[in-house]
Structure 1
Amino acid sequence: MATRIGQTKASFLLNGFAICLLIALVGCSTDKSGAEVEWPEITNETKPWTRWWWHDSAVNPTDLTANMEELEEAGFGGLEITPIYGVKGYEDQALLFQSDEWMDALEHTLNEGKRLDLGIDLANASGWPFGGPWISAEDACRNVQFKQYSLKTGQRLNEKVTYIQEPLIRAVGRRVEISEVKFPISSNTNLNELALDQIRFEKPLPLQTLMAYSDAGEVLELTSLVDGNGQLEWQAPEGNWNLYAVFQGWHGKMVERAGQGGEGNVIDHFSEEATRKFLKDYDDKAEGRDLSGLRAFFNDSYEVDDASGESNWTPRFFEEFEARRGYDLKNYLPALFGNDSEEKNSRVLCDYRETISDLLLDEFTRVWAGWAESHNAVIRNQAHGSPANILDLYEASHIPETEGLNPMRIKMATSAGHVSGKELIACEASTWLDEHFLANLGDAKQNFDRYLAHGVNHIVYHGTPYSPQGEEWPGWLFYAAVHFAPTNSWWPDMKALNDYVTNCQSFMQKSIPNNDILLYFPIYDTWSQKGRSMLAHFGKPQEPLTRELSELFLAKGYSFDYISDRQIQKLTAQNKLIKAPGATYKTIVVPKCEHMPLATMEKLLELAEAGATIVFQEQLPVDVPGMGDLKNRQQAYEGLVKSMEFNPVMNLSVYSRGDGNFLMSDDMDGMLEMVDVYPEELAQLGLWYNRVKRVEGTCYFITNWSDQPVDQWVTLQTSGEHAAWFNPMNRAKGKASVQKVDENQSQVYLQLAPGETLILQWYPYKVQLDDYPMMTAASEKNELSGEWTVAFEKGGPSLPASYQTTELKSWTEQSDELKKFSGTASYQISFDKPQAEASAYLLDLGEVHESASVYLNGEKLGTLVGPSYQLSIDPSLLKETNELEVKVSNLMANRIIDMDKNGVNYKKFYNINFAANKRENVGPDGVFTAAHWEPLPSGLLGPVSLTPLEIKNQ
C-alpha cells in the first residue's frame, strides 16, 4: 500500500497537486467512452489518524509495538504522539520528556511506523500550550500592568514608581497554597502532583516606561529619571500632568496536563527568542538520532488565556509596535488603557491588537514552521482561540487543524487551507461527544461528517491512550474524549468506521475546493471595539463578525470561504473569476462593516479593474482603522470612495470599474445572482455537503443527518451528463440518474436514509457501470420470527452463558449478570427464503444498541453503526433455508456502572483525574462517576424484518 510519511515540506509549501489538477481539468479528454470507474488510491493519509496519548511516557518497546499493531489492524493510518500526565502506580516506568530514554522510545516508534505504514506526528510539548522546565521566567508569557499618577506645577512624586505583582495560584482538581511552590518553577520536583495551571509570585515588576502627559498636550518620557529604588527625580513643569507607568508582569500560565519533564512555564508566544529557546531543547536531545519518518510537529491550540487575565505583552513590544504601526505607542498610553477620547482609544487599541496578531504570526507560527522544515517535517497547528487573525495563522501552517462542532469555527481552518492551497486540512474529532462511555460509532460518524461537509479532509480522532497489554480493563483513559481504544466494547466494529472515513477522504484529499464566494473577515471592526479585555480572541463557536451572513449562506446553500486582508493581497482576477493560490472563486462578499484598511480597498478596486465583481452588503466600509498616518490614509480612502459613482440597477447600486463591478445592496440574493452564484438545493433539504473539483470532474460529498429520508430529484449547481454514486460505507458504486438542466445545472436522483452518506462524482465521459440501485420498498414488512440463539463472544467482566429467546429485548433484562456486561453478543436465527420475488430485500434490524455486523449464511454483509440499521440483500445470496447472524456490541457504560457502584478504581491519573463532562456526573471526590446510572439498553431489540425491494422508476 502506498505511503506518504516521507513526504517533504515542498508539497505543503507549494501545492503542486492543485496546479496539476487545474491543468488536468482543462485538458481532460472526453473520448474515454465506457471508461472504468474506480475508487481512488488509499494511502496512510487517506485513512483516519488518532491522537495517541503517552501517559507520563510510561511506555516500553513491547507494548508500543503491540499498541501500534492493534491500531493499524483497526484501519488507522497514523498516530500523533502527545505525552501527557501520568498514571498513579507507574511512576517508576515514566520516561522524562525528551530525555535519552524518551528519545529511544520515539525512535522505536518511528521505526515501527515505517514497518506498519503508520504515519507519525509529534506534539512539541508534553501537554499544552508550548512550554517546559527549560523555559525560565525571562522567556515565559508576560502581561502588562500600569499605574497612574497626577502632578501639578512644581510638584514631585512622593510615592515610588513600583508595582508589586499580587500572588496567584490555580491548580487542577485540588487546592494548593503558594507557599508549597518554589521559585523558579523548575526547582520543584513534584509538579506532576501539584498540577499547576497558573502561578504568579509576589514580586516587583520591571518598569517598561514612565510617560508624562500635560493638559496642554505635551508628552515627556521620564523613564531614565527613575532610580533603582523607584524614586522619580523630576519636578513637574507648568500645567497639570498625568503620569503612566507601564510594568512588565508575568502571566503565570503553566503547561497544562504535562507529564514529568514537560511541566513548567508557557512560552512568550510573541517572542522569536522564546520560541527558538523552546524548540532548542528538542534539537539538543534529538542530535545524532535517526528521527526520519516524523511527518509533522503538532500544537494543541493557543489556550494561554484560559486563565486569570491574558498574556498580552512581550519585552520588545514598544519597539515592535513602532516598527509595524509607524508611531511610538508610548505617546498614546492613555488611549491604550482606555482613558482618552473614544475615537483615539479605539484606534490605538486596534493597532495594539494588530501588533499582537502580527507577533503571534511572525515570532511564533512562522518561526515554528521554518524550524519544522529544517527537520524535513511540517507543522499541524490549531490556531483557534488565538488573539490574532487566525486565517493568517492557519495559512502559515502546513496543515491547519480545527476542532468543535460550530461550522464557522471549522470553516476558519478550512477556508485558510482552501485559499492558500493546503493539501491537508485536519480536525481534532470527537472531543466530548457525550459523557464518558456513552458515545457510539454513529455519534462519531455524525461528528466526522460535519467536518467533511465543511472542508476537512484529514480526520484525527481524539483519541487513543497508550495502554500496557496486561493492564486491567478498561486500561488507561483520557479525561476529555471518546475512548477509541481496543478496550472499548464496540472496538470490533471500529474498522468499519475507519474504512468509511478512508473512503471519504480518498475523494476529498485529491481535490481542490469548488466554493463560489470569498467572505471578507472584517477583523478590524472587532479590533476597534473596546470589549471586555485588551485582547480579542478569534475562532470562537459563535463568531459575531460574519455570523449573520455566514449562517444565511449555510442555510441557503451558498458555498463560501473566509478571507483575510493579508490573503486578499495575493488574489488576482481573470475572465471575471477571482484566483487565490489554492482555488478560484466567483466573487468577494464584504459584510456590512465600519473599517477596512486602505490597502484592502485599493486591492479590491484593482481586482475589479481586472474583471472581478465585489459585493458589499448595504454599504461601503466607512473608515480606515488604526492611528498611524491617519490623516493621509483617511484622505486617500475618502478619495477612493468619492471616485466611485454608483448607479441604480433594479434594486442594486452598481459601480463599474474596468472590466468589473462593485455591487451594493441589502438584497444579497440579487447581487449573488448577478455573478452567477446560486444556492445548492442540498442545503435546503437539510443535507450537509461539500463540493470539490477532482481530475475527473466536480465531486460532491453528501450526508443526511436530518430525521427524514430523501428520495427525489435534486438540482445541483453543476452541469454534466455522466456521474457515478459511491457509497463510502460499503464501497458500492453505480451510475447516477442524471437530467441536464442547462450549462450550469443538472438534476440527479438521490436516495439517502438518515445517517447515510453518498459521494457523487461527475465525469466528462460515459462511465462503464451498472446503474446505482434506487429502490422502492413494499408496503408490508416480513418480520423474522422464531427462536434466536444469543451467545456472548467477547467482553466482561465475564462472559455470560448463552440463551434462546423468541422475544428480542435488551440483554440487561435477561439477568443481573447481563446488566453489567459490556461486549459483543451473537444473535442467530434461521429463516426461509421469502416467497415473494424481488430485485432485492431490505434487512431492517430495528432497534440496535449500539453497532452491528451482519452475516448471512456465513458471509459478512456489512457493519451498521446507526442511526438506521438497514442493508440490502441480493436475492442470489438467499437459500431455501438461511442462517442470519447479527453480532451486536454495546457501550462500555454498563460495565463502568458496575465498577463505580462497587468502588473499583480505574480513575488513577495525576492532574485532572478523571473529569466529568456533565455536572450531574461529578462524584463526592470531584471526579466522574456512573454509580447513579441505571444499566443502558444493550443488544438487538428489533423487530428484525425483510422487505421486498424493486428498482424505482425515476
Structure 2
Amino acid sequence: MKRTKIKTDAAESFIPGRVRRWMFCAGVSLLTLPQGVRAQAPTAPEKGSIAAVQAGFQTPPDDARIMMRWWWFGPAVVKPELEREILAMKAGGIGGFEIQPVYAVALDDKAKDFKNLPYLSDGFMDVLKFTGEKAHENGMRVDLTLASGWPYGGPHVSIDEASSRLRFAAEELPANAASVTVPSIGNGEKLIAVFTGEGNAKKYDAASMMKLTAAPSEGRIAVAPSKHTRVVLFFIASRTGQQVKRAAVDADGFVLDHFSRKAVDSHLNLIANKLIAAFGDNPPYAVFSDSLEVYGADWTDDLLPEFEKRRGYDLTPHLPELWSGTGPGAAALRRDWGLTLTELIDERYLTPVNDWAKAHHTQFRSQTYGEPAVSLSSNNLVALPEGEGPQWRAFSFTRLASSASHLYDRNVTSAETWTWLHSPAFRATPLDMKAEADRFFLQGVNQLIGHGWPYTAPGVEEPGWAFYAAAVFNDHNPWWPVMPEVTKYLQRVSYLMRQGKPANDIAVLLPNDDAYAEFKPGHVTLSGEMAKYITPGLIEQVLNNGYNLDYIDAEAIQKVGIPYPVLVLPHVDRMSPETLKAIAAYAAKGGKVIAVGSLPAHAPGFAHEEELSKQVAGLTQKLFADPKQARQITGDADLGAALKQALTPDMAVTGTASEMGFVHRKLADADVYFVVNSSNVPAHASATFRASREFVTALDPFTGAATDMTSGPVAGPVALELAPYESRVFVLSDKALPGAVKAAPEKPWAPLADISHDWKVAFPALKIAKTEPQPASWTDDAATRYFSGEAVYTKSVRVEAKDLKGAEIALDFGVGTPVVVDPAIKAGMRALLESPVREVAMVYVNGKRAGGVWHPPYRVDIAPLLHEGENAIEVRVDNLAINTLAGRAPTDYKLLSARYGQRFVPQDMDHLEPLPSGILGTVQLMKR
C-alpha cells in the first residue's frame, strides 16, 4: 500500500495516501480552530429529551466511537509508526485504543535496525510515554492493560504468590503397615491434611475418612496398623504453574494468585505503578483486566482460616468429601467453598485494583467472568464492566456484564468485540463486523472494543502483521476505504444505546448456589456452569415472544431489589430464606414470578442445612400458593406462553422474521427501539410496540435521517421490511420529531438500465487496464489471481431528462447469496451472506462520492449526482488480503519459537485459497 509522507509538529510521520482522501470524505480534520474562535451553535434542546437524542444521533459525540485493542508485538515499536497508526485510527473513525504488549513475531536484527523492546525497559517506557502524549494531542482515548498478555502475572511473581490450587494424592496402604510415604512437597507447597480409611485409590467412602494427627517425619507419616488394606489421602496446598499467556519479551512468568491480597498488591506496586507513571499528568482513561482465565486456581494459602471465619465451621475434616464426595453433603460443602472463593477474589483482587485505579485518577475496566469464580454482582466492584461473546440467544458473558450495569447503574457497558470474527486473520469483512456488533448491541453493549489493530513495523511486507486469532481492522486491510462508514454506524448506535434507561422486562435469576454446588477441584467457574440452567431454549422463549432480558443474582436482589415486571427462576433448587423472602415481598407488590422446572427446596450451605431447608420449603410453598403471584411451569418450552399471561410483549412481531431482535431504551418523552434482523434472509413483518405514544419515527442508523411512520391518530403496527442483517431505529414519541419526512407509500424498484457489461477495469498498483465484457472475478485471470487491493471500474451511462424528474435512482449491485456455516471453521462467527461485490465498493458519479457498498441492500442513491446526458460512473472495489497471502508461503516461526518458546499458533492460516473478488453480479440503474 502506497504511503504519503507528511510533517507533524513533533515528528515525521506517515499517513496512507488513501487515508488522507477518506479523512476528507468523512469530514475528519487534523486541524483545529485558532484559539478563542468558536463556532456559533443554535440553542440546544433539553438534555435527555428525544430532540436532544435525535441531534446526538445525527452527529454522535466522539466518546461513542469504537476503540481498538492495539497489539504491540515484541513490543518492537518505533515512534514514527506509532504516531502514524494513531492518526490512521482517528481518520478511520476510531476513538481510541487499548495498549496490549504481546509476544514477538520477529527476531532482533541489527542489520535491519529491528529490536524488540523488553517489557518495562527504559525503551519500552519511553514509547509508552510518547504514545500517551500523542493520543492526548489527538483527542484519542487510551486504555492500558496492567500487564503483558493475560492473566496478570510475570517474572516478578514468586512461587509463593503464584496462582494456587488444592493438590490431591492417594496412596494404598497394605495390611499391617504402620507408616506411609509422604508425597514430595516442593517449593510453594504445603501439606495441609492427611486422611485414611478403608478402600483403595480408586474407590473409597469420602465421608468416612479419618484425619491423621501425626506429623510427617523423615518423609513418612505414622499410621495405626490394621489387618485391612486401606487408602491414605494427602491434601496439599499447591500452585497451578500457569504461565502468562502471549507475554511480551521479558514479561513471561507465573500468573499471580488472584485470591491473595499480598500477590495483588505486589503486582500493583511493581508493575502498575511503573506503567501509570509513564503517563504523567494525563493518566489513561481506564486500566484493563482481560477475562479471568486462571485455569485450575481453587485455593490460597489462608483459605482454611478464612473459610472458617466466613462459613462458621472448619473445612479441613471435610476435604475428602469436597474432593470426591457424591452426596448432598458434598454439594453443600462445595457451595460454601465456592462462595468463599468468590468473596476472596472480590475483596482481594477486584476491590484493590479498582481502588488503585481511583487513586491514580483512572477507571478499572474489567471482564469479570471466567475462572476463578467471580459472580454477576462482582461487576459492582469495578467502574467499567465489560463482556465478551456475541451469543445473544444463549447464556452470554456479555449479557452478564450489561445486566450488572443495568442493576448497579453503570451507563456504559463495553465488550471485547470480533474476537474470533470469520477466521483466519484478514478474512473478516465489514458486514461481518456489523453482524457481530449488532448482536452485542442487542445484549445491551454500548462501547465496542475491537479485537483488533495489530501494529506493523515499517518495511514489513503487506498486509502486515496479525494477531494469531483475530480479525484485522487496520489500514493495511484492503477494504479500509469504507471503515469511516462502518465506524460511523457503530458510533451512532453506541451513542443511542446510552440514552435514557434500559427497559428490559424479564429478570432471569442466576442460580449461583446451585452452580457452586456443581464445582469440582480444578474447575471453579460460575459463568462456566450457567449454561446448564440458562439454556438456549429458555433464552429463545423470551426473545421470540417479544421480550428482552437481564440476569440477576441473589446478591443483587438483596442490594437493589428486583426492578423488573417478571422474575424467572430457571431450574433452581438451592436458595437462601433471605432471598426467598425478598422474592415474596416483590411478588406481594405486583411482581410476577415464574419457576421453570423445579421449585426452590434446599438451603444452599452445609451448616444447619436441614433446619434451613425446612424454612425454604415453607417459604416456597407459601409463595407459590397464589398463582396470581407465582407459578411453576414444566420446562423451558412453556416459558413463552407463561410470559404472555404475565405481561404484554414489548415488541410483538408478526410475519416472516427469523431471529429478529430489539433493544428498548426509555426516555422521559419517548421510547426508543433499536431493531435488528440478525439473519441472512429478508424480514417481511410488522411490529406492535407496547409503548403507547402518538408518533412513530424511523431513524436510519447509517445517516441519521428521520422518517415519520405514523399512520393514524394512534400509533399502530409498524412495517418491518429489513434486508439481511439490516437494522433500524423506531422512536415512539408524544410529539413529531423535527425534520422527519413523511413516509411515502412504498413503491417497488424497477430496472432503468442494465449496465453489467463492458466496464473498463484498472488495477493501478499492477499497472493493468482492461475491458470486461461481463462480470468476472479477479481470480479468473492469472495476472490478478493473488492480488489484494483496489480496482477501479469506470463506465459512461446516459440518463434521459424524463427519468430524472421526481424519481429516486440508485445504482444496484443485486442481492447477497446466503451461505451455511463452514464446518472447517472451529471458532468465531461471520455474516452468512456473500456480497455481489467482493468485498466493498466506493461509488462516484461525475467525480463526486455517492456512497459505499458493504452491506445489504447493496444499493447506492445516485439521483442527486446525475444530470441529463452522459454520466461518468466510477466504482472503486477493494477485496481481502487473503488473496495476497494465498499466493505466498506461510511465515516460518521456527527460529522465533526456538528463541522465545511457542507463544502462538496462527489460526486457520494453512491451505489458504484466493477468494472471489470484484463486481460479480448484475449491475443496474434502478428507479422508483
Regarding TM over 0.5, the answer is yes
Q: For residues 725 and 272 of structure 2, what CA distance do their matches in structure 1 show?
A: 47
Distance change >3 Å, CA 907–CA 556, structure 1 → 2 = farther
User: Quick check: 2:53–2:499 contact (8 Å CA) kept in 1?
Assistant: no
Q: For residues 615 and 498 of structure 1, what CA distance do their matches in structure 2 show?
A: 41
2:300 to 296, 307, 314: 314
Tell me the amino acid that sits aligned with residue 192 of structure 2.
Q
- Equivalent residue for 1:754? 724
Q: Matches of residues 104-143 of structure 1 in structure 2 within 5 Å?
A: 104-143=126-165
Tell me the amino acid that sits aligned with residue 159 of structure 1.
V
- Equivalent residue for 1:169? none
User: Quick check: 2:566–2:591 contact (8 Å CA) kept in 1?
Assistant: yes
- Give the 3-state SS of the residue equivalent to 1:929 in structure 2: coil
**Is 1:425 aligned to 2:413, yes or no?**
yes
Q: For residues 757 and 542 of structure 1, what CA distance do their matches in structure 2 show?
A: 30
2:356 to 354, 357, 371: 371
- Equivalent residue for 2:184? 164
Distance change >3 Å, CA 906–CA 496, structure 1 → 2 = farther
User: Quick check: 2:624–2:631 contact (8 Å CA) kept in 1?
Assistant: no
Distance change >3 Å, CA 528–CA 109, structure 1 → 2 = same
Q: For residues 816 and 876 of structure 1, what CA distance do their matches in structure 2 show?
A: 36
- Give the 3-state SS of the residue equivalent to 1:567 in structure 2: helix
- Give the 3-state SS of the residue equivalent to 1:364 in structure 2: helix
User: Quick check: 2:71–2:454 contact (8 Å CA) kept in 1?
Assistant: yes
User: Quick check: 1:226–1:232 contact (8 Å CA) kept in 2?
Assistant: yes
Q: For residues 503 and 549 of structure 1, what CA distance do their matches in structure 2 show?
A: 31
- Equivalent residue for 1:663? 631
- Equivalent residue for 1:565? 554
Tell me the amino acid that sits aligned with residue 474 of structure 1.
P
Superposed CA deviations along residues 233-255 of structure 1, whole A, max 9, x for unmatched, are 66589999976432112211000
Tell me the amino acid that sits aligned with residue 754 of structure 1.
P
TM-score if structure 2 supplies the norm length?
0.83
User: Quick check: 1:211–1:330 contact (8 Å CA) kept in 2?
Assistant: no
- Equivalent residue for 2:464? 475
Distance change >3 Å, CA 717–CA 589, structure 1 → 2 = same
Q: For residues 183 and 716 of structure 2, what CA distance do their matches in structure 1 show?
A: 70
- Equivalent residue for 2:753? 782
Q: Matches of residues 557-706 of structure 1 in structure 2 within 5 Å?
A: 557-572=546-561, 578-579=562-563, 585-644=564-623, 646-647=625-626, 653-654=627-628, 661-666=629-634, 667-678=638-649, 680-682=651-653, 685-686=657-658, 687-694=660-667, 696-706=669-679
Q: Which moved more, 1:283-292 or 1:447-456?
A: 283-292
TM-score if structure 1 supplies the norm length?
0.81
Distance change >3 Å, CA 789–CA 609, structure 1 → 2 = same
**Is 1:929 aligned to 2:899, yes or no?**
no
- Equivalent residue for 1:328? 314
User: Quick check: 1:107–1:291 contact (8 Å CA) kept in 2?
Assistant: no
User: Quick check: 2:297–2:372 contact (8 Å CA) kept in 1?
Assistant: no
Give the CA deviation at 1:422.
1.5
Give the CA deviation at 1:812.
2.7
**Is 1:245 aligned to 2:234, yes or no?**
yes
Superposed CA deviations along residues 721-780 of structure 1, whole A, max 9, x for unmatched, are 223222222333322335576xxx842233322232212223331223212566422454
**Fraction of identical pairs, as percent:** 27
- Equivalent residue for 2:905? 915
Q: For residues 35 and 88 of structure 1, what CA distance do their matches in structure 2 show?
A: 48
User: Quick check: 2:418–2:470 contact (8 Å CA) kept in 1?
Assistant: yes
- Give the 3-state SS of the residue equivalent to 1:319 in structure 2: helix
User: Quick check: 2:685–2:720 contact (8 Å CA) kept in 1?
Assistant: yes
- Equivalent residue for 1:342? 327
Q: For residues 278 and 24 of structure 1, what CA distance do their matches in structure 2 show?
A: 43
**Is 1:60 aligned to 2:78, yes or no?**
yes
1:546 to 534, 551, 555: 534
User: Quick check: 1:86–1:259 contact (8 Å CA) kept in 2?
Assistant: yes
Q: Which moved more, 1:903-912 or 1:64-73?
A: 903-912
- Equivalent residue for 1:829? 795
Q: Which moved more, 1:762-771 or 1:227-236?
A: 227-236
> What count of residue pairs does the alignment treat as equivalent?
839
Q: For residues 355 and 749 of structure 2, what CA distance do their matches in structure 1 show?
A: 62
Distance change >3 Å, CA 523–CA 896, structure 1 → 2 = same
Distance change >3 Å, CA 777–CA 147, structure 1 → 2 = same
- Give the 3-state SS of the residue equivalent to 2:451 in structure 1: strand
Give the CA deviation at 1:211.
5.2
Q: For residues 473 and 418 of structure 1, what CA distance do their matches in structure 2 show?
A: 44
Superposed CA deviations along residues 133-180 of structure 1, whole A, max 9, x for unmatched, are 000000001221234578899x774123x2237xxxxxxxxxxxxxxx
Distance change >3 Å, CA 124–CA 238, structure 1 → 2 = same
Q: Matches of residues 114-513 of structure 1 in structure 2 within 5 Å?
A: 114-148=136-170, 157-160=178-181, 162-164=182-184, 205-210=189-194, 222=212, 225-227=214-216, 229-232=218-221, 235=224, 244-286=233-275, 289=278, 290=280, 292-305=282-295, 310-339=296-325, 342-407=327-392, 408-409=395-396, 410-434=398-422, 435-513=424-502
Q: For residues 196 and 230 of structure 2, what CA distance do their matches in structure 1 show?
A: 6
Tell me the amino acid that sits aligned with residue 869 of structure 1.
Y
**Is 1:727 aligned to 2:700, yes or no?**
yes
Q: For residues 541 and 772 of structure 1, what CA distance do their matches in structure 2 show?
A: 49
Measured on the aligned residues, the alpha-carbon RMSD in Å equals 3.4
Q: For residues 207 and 903 of structure 2, what CA distance do their matches in structure 1 show?
A: 57
Distance change >3 Å, CA 269–CA 750, structure 1 → 2 = same
Distance change >3 Å, CA 260–CA 35, structure 1 → 2 = closer
Distance change >3 Å, CA 539–CA 826, structure 1 → 2 = farther
Q: For residues 623 and 857 of structure 1, what CA distance do their matches in structure 2 show?
A: 75
Q: For residues 99 and 511 of structure 1, what CA distance do their matches in structure 2 show?
A: 46
Q: For residues 206 and 703 of structure 2, what CA distance do their matches in structure 1 show?
A: 78
Gaps of 5+ in 2: 1-26, 29-44, 199-204, 815-835
- Equivalent residue for 2:872? 883
Distance change >3 Å, CA 69–CA 912, structure 1 → 2 = farther
Gaps of 5+ in 1: 3-20, 166-201, 573-577, 580-584, 648-652, 655-660, 919-927, 950-954
- Give the 3-state SS of the residue equivalent to 1:839 in structure 2: coil
Superposed CA deviations along residues 386-429 of structure 1, whole A, max 9, x for unmatched, are 24253123333322222223222132222222222222211121
Tell me the amino acid that sits aligned with residue 382 of structure 2.
S
Q: Matches of residues 932-943 of structure 1 in structure 2 within 5 Å?
A: 933=913, 935-943=914-922
Tell me the amino acid that sits aligned with residue 475 of structure 1.
G
User: Quick check: 2:843–2:874 contact (8 Å CA) kept in 1?
Assistant: yes
- Equivalent residue for 1:843? 811
Give the CA deviation at 1:810.
1.4
Q: For residues 876 and 84 of structure 1, what CA distance do their matches in structure 2 show?
A: 48
1:871 to 860, 866, 875: 860
Distance change >3 Å, CA 711–CA 875, structure 1 → 2 = farther
- Equivalent residue for 1:48? 66
Q: For residues 524 and 558 of structure 1, what CA distance do their matches in structure 2 show?
A: 27
- Equivalent residue for 1:39? 57
Q: Which moved more, 1:74-83 or 1:443-452?
A: 443-452
Q: Which moved more, 1:883-892 or 1:586-595?
A: 586-595
Superposed CA deviations along residues 313-358 of structure 1, whole A, max 9, x for unmatched, are 111111121122221101212211224x612122112222222222
Q: Which moved more, 1:727-736 or 1:138-147?
A: 727-736
Tell me the amino acid that sits aligned with residue 427 of structure 1.
A
- Give the 3-state SS of the residue equivalent to 2:532 in structure 1: coil
Give the CA deviation at 1:283.
4.5
Give the CA deviation at 1:905.
9.0
User: Quick check: 1:516–1:677 contact (8 Å CA) kept in 2?
Assistant: no
User: Quick check: 1:474–1:906 contact (8 Å CA) kept in 2?
Assistant: no
- Give the 3-state SS of the residue equivalent to 1:942 in structure 2: coil
Distance change >3 Å, CA 74–CA 886, structure 1 → 2 = same
Tell me the amino acid that sits aligned with residue 910 of structure 2.
T
Tell me the amino acid that sits aligned with residue 122 of structure 1.
L
Give the CA deviation at 1:828.
1.2
Distance change >3 Å, CA 751–CA 218, structure 1 → 2 = closer
Give the CA deviation at 1:46.
0.5
